[in-house]
Amino acid sequence: MIIVMRQGAPDEEIQGVVATIEELGYRAHLSKGEERTIIGVIGDERPLAVQPLEMLAGVERVVPILQPFKLASRDFRPQNTVFSLNGVTVGGDQLVIMAGPCAVESREQLLEIAAAVKEAGATVLRGGAFKPRTSPYSFQGLGVRGLELLAEAREKTGLLIVTEVISPTDVALVGEYADILQIGARNMQNFSLLQEAGRSGHPVLLKRGMMSTLQELLMSAEYILANSNYRVILCERGIRTFETATRNTLDINAIPVLKKLTHLPVIVDPSHATGKWEYVGAVSKAAVAAGADGLIVEVHTHPEKAFSDGAQSLKPGVFNQLVADVRRVAEAVGRTL
Ligand code: PEP
Ligand code: MN
């Protein structure tokens, strides 16, 4: 449940309510809005009686949250979550563009692509050092060497780094290099990974599982938020359907539905959603028109030689055009890029 404090309730009253909640064996999470503070009561709330809480000083009302996700819900935090990372704002009016190769393959490859995506207007560089591959015989990523190359690319370009972590035991290591930890579709319900990423305090890009509902995605986000890590970005990356013309099917509905249910920023991955580079531009524009807060796009200077996902990777010139087209759509829906 949430406890909505009176407008302008002083700090002592807020702390008084927090202390009572903790004495009862629950955890309190604060959401400080411009007008009022909302206190989320986390724990098994079945035995908790509403009435005594309503009598505490400064409390305006006590409301049960009907959704199974609590901290991720708009009831807990009505205003959008917006946060800045080294000058890049996520969740605000300005869209965030993340781009780069599927995987870090070599120093030359990464630095060349990093320079190209920066030039086109991206502010975050993507690239996997640890790759969750369907086959154990496929390229698994460069590991620590890949992380070092990403750090070098950041140094050279000023781009932030988002890279995937596939194991709870690697969270600390990846966190030493990355600005944003990516949790991929295949690991969306790896609960120990979610917990560890939550505890690390690093911003997390959480991708929707290819067969997961939006409620399941939000429950996974809840694991991170419950560890007091509120810097979570959700990503729709296409789901499995009966359609075979594309690799996945972008669930465009996910954007307005998530925007209604949660305060967290929502971005779209048009590359994995389509699996084919020629559709990436159209789907990117649709995503931004539908209210996405940004995009994560695979770009490669030599897609035909890419170790993974070459078929869906854009050449820099095409990516450049995509950014220009998306900028016009962004302006039409009151956003900037
Ligand atoms: C990726 O971003 O390279 C990736 C593996 O994506 P997903 O987890 O969405 O399949
Ligand atoms: Mn990929």
How confident is the model over 232-289, as pLDDT tens digits?
A: 999 999 999 999 999 999 999 999 999 999 999 999 999 999 999 999 999 999 999 9
Does ligand 1 lie within 6 Å of residue 102's CB atom?
A: yes
Ligand 1 neighbourhood includes 263 CB (under 6 angstroms): no
Fold of 83-332: TIM Barrel (3.20.20)
Which residues sit opposite 148 in a β-bridge? none
Beta carbons within 8 Å of 225's beta carbon, 6+ residues apart: 29, 71, 72, 198, 232
Give the orientation angle of helix 214-225 with respect to helix 191-200, to 10 degrees: 40
In the chain the first and final C-alpha atoms are separated, in Å, by 37
Q: b/e string for 105-134 if b means 16 or more Cβ within 10 A?
A: beeebbebbbbbbbebbbbbbbbbbbbbee
Which pLDDT value is given to residue 48?
A: 82
Ligand 1 atom showing the smallest separation from residue 128 Cα:
3
Distance 135 CA to ligand 1 centre (A): 14
Q: Which residue owns the Cα nearest ligand 1 atom 5?
A: 184
Percentages helix, strand, coil for the chain, rounded to the nearest 5?
40, 20, 40
At residue 305, the pLDDT reads: 98
Q: Which of 139, 180, 186 to mutate to test the pocket of ligand 1 (most atoms within 8 A of CB)?
A: 186
Ligand 1 pocket, residue 185 CB under 6 Å: yes
For CATH 3.20.20.70, the residue range(s) in the chain are: 83-332
Question: Which amino acid does the sequence have at 214?
Answer: L
Nearest-angstrom CA–CA distance, 295 and 330:
12
The CATH 3.30.70.1140 portion of the chain extends over 2-63
0.75 exceeded by pTM: yes
Residue 4: in which H helix or E strand, if any? Answer: strand 2-5
What's the pLDDT score for residue 60?
96
* pLDDT per residue as tens digits for the range 43-94: 887 778 877 899 999 999 999 888 999 999 999 999 999 999 999 999 999 9
In angstroms, the CA 79 to CA 85 distance is 19
Residue 294, helix vs strand vs coil: strand
Residue 276: both structure tokens together: 């084919």
91-128 confidence digits (pLDDT tens): 999 999 999 999 999 999 999 999 999 999 999 999 99
Q: Name the residue of 150, 174, 182, 188 to mutate for ligand 1: max ligand atoms within 8 A of Cβ.
A: 182
Domain 2-63 belongs to what topology? Alpha-Beta Plaits (3.30.70)
